[in-house]
Amino acid sequence: MELTRRAAIQSVAAATVAGGVSLAGATSAQAAFATLKPGMKSAAVRDLQIRLARLGYWLGAADSAYGHLTTQAVMAIQGAAGVARDGICGPVTWSKVVAGVRPTARSRSGKVIEVDKYRQIIKFVVNGRLYITIHTSTGSNQRYYSGGAWHTAYTPTGHFRVFRQVNAWDKSPLGELYRPKYYYGGYAIHGSLSIPGYPASHGCCRVSTGAMNLFWGTSYPIQIGTAVWVY
C-alpha cells in the first residue's frame, strides 16, 4: 500500500511539473487564495487539487476541473478543520489547506475504516497511519416513516466489521445503495448520488460513487472482515 501511495504522489507531482504548477506553492498569491467553486477549470484549481491530494484528501485525478470529487475533497478538509462544509474553497478553507490540516486516527493496529460523525469524514487507516480522508454524510437524526413504523435516522456508534457486500446498486426500502459494504444490520458504507455537506442519510454512511469504486479496488480496499469504527 505504501508503494501505491508513493507512486500516486509521484505521478501527480510529475503531471504538476509538466503543467507548470509548483508543488511548493501556487502559481501566484492571487491564484492561491482566489475563491474557487464547483464548475471552475483553471491552474488554480489544479493547484488546489495537488495540495488536497498531498494531504490525503482523495479526489481522483488532478485535472484542473472543479468537479464532484474535488467538491467532496473540499468538504472533507472543511469537516476535518471544523468549518462550514459548503464545498467552496474560499479564504477560510484556503487557510486550512495551506496550513496542512489533516485529521488524526484513533486506531493503532490493523486496517480500520474510521467514521467520524462529528466531522462527517471517513478515514482509511492502517496500523495507525492515515492514508486517505473522504467526505461522508451520515444519519440526519430526523424522524421518518417506513414499514408501518416511525424511526430515527441515526448512525449507530461502535466497533463493527464488514460482513456483507453487494457489487451493484442494491435496492432497499429506503432507496438504492451503490456497491454497499454492510457492517451492522442494514447499515452500510455505500455510494450515493447525493452527499451533501451535512448529515442527511437514514443512517448509512454515504460517499461518492467514485469513492465507493475506490473501496472496491486494490489500492484502498474495504473487504469482508474489515473493521469499521463509528464515533
User: Using one digit for the tens of pLDDT, what is the confidence trace for 166-207?
Assistant: 999 999 988 999 999 999 999 999 999 999 999 999 999 999
User: Using one digit for the tens of pLDDT, what is the confidence trace for 93-104?
Assistant: 999 999 999 999
Indicate whether 115 and 94 sit together in one domain. Answer: no
Question: How many C-beta atoms lie closer than 10 Å to residue 119's C-beta?
Answer: 19
From residue 183, give the alpha-carbon distance in Å to each of 25, 142, 155. 41, 22, 12
Q: How many domains does the chain have?
A: 2
* Prediction pTM value: 0.85
CATH code where residue 116 lies: 2.40.440.10
Indicate whether 86 and 30 sit together in one domain. Answer: yes
Mean per-residue pLDDT for 33-37?
Answer: 93
Residue 160 belongs to some domain of the structure: yes
| pLDDT class of 81 with cuts at 50, 70, 90 | very high
Indicate whether 51 and 85 sit together in one domain. Answer: yes
Residue 104 belongs to some domain of the structure: no
Indicate whether 117 and 74 sit together in one domain. Answer: no
Q: Residue 186: which domain range? A: 111-230
In DSSP terms, which residues pair with 176 in a beta bridge?
Answer: 171
Point out the domain boundary residue: 36, 69, 99: 99
Indicate whether 77 and 133 sit together in one domain. Answer: no
As a whole number of Å, the CA-based R_g of the chain is 18
